Structure 1
Amino acid sequence: MHAFESNEPAGAGRTNGRNPARLRRSGALAIAVAALSLLSGCGLAPAASYVPEAGPGTIRPVEGASGSQLTVTGRNNTEGLILGKMAVLAAKAAGFEVSDMTNVPGSQPTRSLMLAGKADIIWEYTGTAWLSFMGHPSGIPEQDAQWQAVHDEDLANGLSWGAKAPLNNTYALAVTNETAAKYGLSTLSDIAKLPVDQRTFCVEPEFNSRPDGFGPMLKHYGLDRGSATGVPEGNIGLYDVGAVYSATDNGVCTLGEVFATDGRIDALGLTVLTDDKKFFPAYNVAPVFYSKTLAAHPELEGIFAQISPLLDDTTMRGLNLKVDVDGQEPADVAFEWMKEQGFLTGAP
């Protein structure tokens, strides 16, 4: 989705890393293979492999885990790092010896690691897999259906999807909390309530021009782009991804394009409008396992099924904010949250 790798999904851009990077398969595969070679063939040590020492909580040691090696991978954006560290901590609490290969640049290299069996676990986005990896022309807005589709198709690739989280790091439009209260805005359908001169938008160029982006979204919600009674072209401003947030906060525009789990939403006091007519594709996050690893250790699916239900948009925005705004380490943020939920305990 995202602007990701302009969003991939985190820190800057998508600050969450969701960018469901909309890379297409074309030349991206060659780049991914090259990156995979650098990571594995050259023995490059994974960066930022620190995680706090922890003991088991509701995640208990798995029989046969001791002495078994698991490799966790993930992308080098805020959300990717936080989720990756959660996976590392969960696997360690279950008694596995864990190689931390999070902090990998880009979605295609992590995908290549998983397909090659050089990594065993990653948190992945349904929309990213469907659109970027599997090459489908359009996403599926219904979240369960999108998860089922990627689950079924990836089995043939040797990958098994675990239970999805409520977290859906998709495109969204946001307004300031004050604007939402003033005009009674809570859904995208409510944009029609705004006077035309208040239907002003800050969007990034990719979203503006995508066939599943800004223009089609307006049409889906009955707003005519370029019309004096809909959304005049003069009401649309193009900005870099990061600048959209500050421009919206500062009143340069009424509505700004955001990613649903970006920590800046809470930091700036923005309200995300619900996609009530389900235009945007689903980008739910879910754990993905190398199928041979899961067959050897089926308990892994249940371990991550404890975590997934508690990861929603609001929770993830708060966790991303702790890193992007407060400057905390992703590993510490992941550990403290997992300890609060009872998954882990502090080091004995």
Structure 2
Amino acid sequence: MKRIVAVILMLLILIISFVSNIQSAGNTITVSGGVTSESQILGSLVSEMIEHYTDNKVEFLNNLGTATIDQQAMQRGDLDISATRYTGTDLVTTLGEKTEKDPTKTLRTVQTQFERRFGYYWSDGYGFSNQFTFLVTKETAKKYHLKTVSDLRRVASRLSLGTDQAWYKRAGDGYLAFSKYYGMKFRDVYPMQVGILYDALVNKELDVILGYSTDGRIGSYDLVMLKDDKKFFPPYAASFVLSKDTLQRYPKLKGILNKLSGTIDTKTMQKLNFQADDEMLEPQKVAKEFLEKHKYFEEGEKK
């Protein structure tokens, strides 16, 4: 009799544990963080807001490197919130549309098409646009009289270029399209991780790099940004995206995360990136300190 009771108790414990695990999994929201400091900071901002204003847990995925990978994960149901998406990138790569130079038109097109095709909510944006920008040292700019991207055409065949790996391969607004648009080819092109581009430039291992306008190292390394005078690059306003299933399961989430919309300008994002890249602070720490400093957690009680 005692053995039967013991077996029953064990079964009850297993059942309770199983049910608890299911409930816990159902209460978890997956958020992508990307591989750059910026995407991880924005992913951490989203995660912190969710955990403060809801009872949900967050699973933070920091190994999804591109918009394409994020989109595939969302369509498989493996990702609830893509914290860092850029309008110009998804307009071309995900939607297959032609590049559009007008920021407002680009945003509206992406918002409309994402809702129509996938049922996703594309937010109005954090408040900044992270533009691709060609960068050189002051020494190189002075030596070759460089102020605009067009100025590179005279000397590109003698210079090496370092780029983001994803951009180099990308159709529509990637390297091949750029080369044709501006009518230039560099002597050598080296696709690599974004994190090492800046050091390679400063150490004279590269002559030119394609960086990001919100990168804090532009100021700390005193680099020169070359103007995209022929306006090749579309606008890249940063936004978060919620999947259809997430909207249905957590209808209040849109309002909570929209507290972030329109509140982070380019200079602010540069400072946040600088804290992560130069001061070596963890992106999560940078995000939490920013939210606390600007009183995001005091706008309403935890729900």
**TM-score, reference length from structure 1:** 0.61
Quick one: which of 130, 153, 156 aligns to 1:169? 130
Counterpart of 1:202?
161
Whose helix proportion is higher, 1 or 2?
2
Deviates more, 1:153-162 or 1:170-179: 170-179
Counterpart of 2:32?
74
Q: Deviations over 1:190-220 (max 9, x none)?
A: 658xx75998452348766866445654664
Counterpart of 1:300?
253
Q: What is the count of residue pairs matched by the alignment?
A: 268
Counterpart of 2:81?
121
Alignment of 1:180-219 (within 5 A): 187-188=148-149, 196=155, 200-204=159-163, 212-214=173-175, 216-217=177-178
Matches of 2:170 and 2:240, distance apart in 1? 28
Matches of 2:199 and 2:77, distance apart in 1? 42
Are 1:147 and 2:97 matched, yes or no? no
Counterpart of 1:282?
235
Alpha-carbon contact 1:166-1:309 (below 8 Å) kept: yes
Matches of 1:163 and 1:313, distance apart in 2? 15
Matches of 1:182 and 1:310, distance apart in 2? 39
Can you give the 5+ residue segments of structure 1 that lack an aligned partner in the other structure?
1-42, 47-67, 226-232
Q: CA deviation at 1:187?
A: 4.5
Alpha-carbon contact 1:266-1:318 (below 8 Å) kept: no
- The letter for the 2-side match of 1:162 is S
Are 1:130 and 2:91 matched, yes or no? yes
Alpha-carbon contact 1:73-1:104 (below 8 Å) kept: no
Are 1:291 and 2:244 matched, yes or no? yes
Q: CA deviation at 1:137?
A: 6.2
Q: CA deviation at 1:174?
A: 1.1
State the percentage of identical aligned residues. 28
Alpha-carbon contact 1:161-1:288 (below 8 Å) kept: yes
Are 1:325 and 2:286 matched, yes or no? no
Alpha-carbon contact 2:38-2:273 (below 8 Å) kept: yes
Alpha-carbon contact 2:162-2:206 (below 8 Å) kept: no
Q: Give the match's secondary structure for 2:286.
A: helix
Q: Give the match's secondary structure for 2:199.
A: helix
Matches of 1:202 and 1:105, distance apart in 2? 25
- The letter for the 2-side match of 1:325 is D
Q: CA deviation at 1:89?
A: 1.0
RMSD of aligned alpha carbons? 3.8
Q: Give the match's secondary structure for 1:239.
A: strand
Q: Give the match's secondary structure for 1:139.
A: coil
Q: CA deviation at 1:97?
A: 1.7
Q: CA deviation at 1:305?
A: 3.0
Alpha-carbon contact 2:81-2:243 (below 8 Å) kept: yes
Quick one: which of 38, 45, 48 aligns to 1:86? 45
Matches of 1:158 and 1:331, distance apart in 2? 29
Q: Give the match's secondary structure for 1:309.
A: coil
**TM-score, reference length from structure 2:** 0.69
Matches of 1:117 and 1:215, distance apart in 2? 33
Q: CA deviation at 1:87?
A: 0.6
Counterpart of 1:38?
none
Can you give the 5+ residue segments of structure 2 that lack an aligned partner in the other structure?
1-21, 299-303
Alpha-carbon contact 2:34-2:64 (below 8 Å) kept: yes
- The letter for the 2-side match of 1:341 is H
- The letter for the 1-side match of 2:188 is G
Counterpart of 1:26?
none
Alpha-carbon contact 2:144-2:155 (below 8 Å) kept: no
Alpha-carbon contact 1:89-1:335 (below 8 Å) kept: yes
Counterpart of 1:99?
58
- The letter for the 2-side match of 1:304 is L
Q: 1:99 to 1:130 in 2, by over 3 A?
A: same
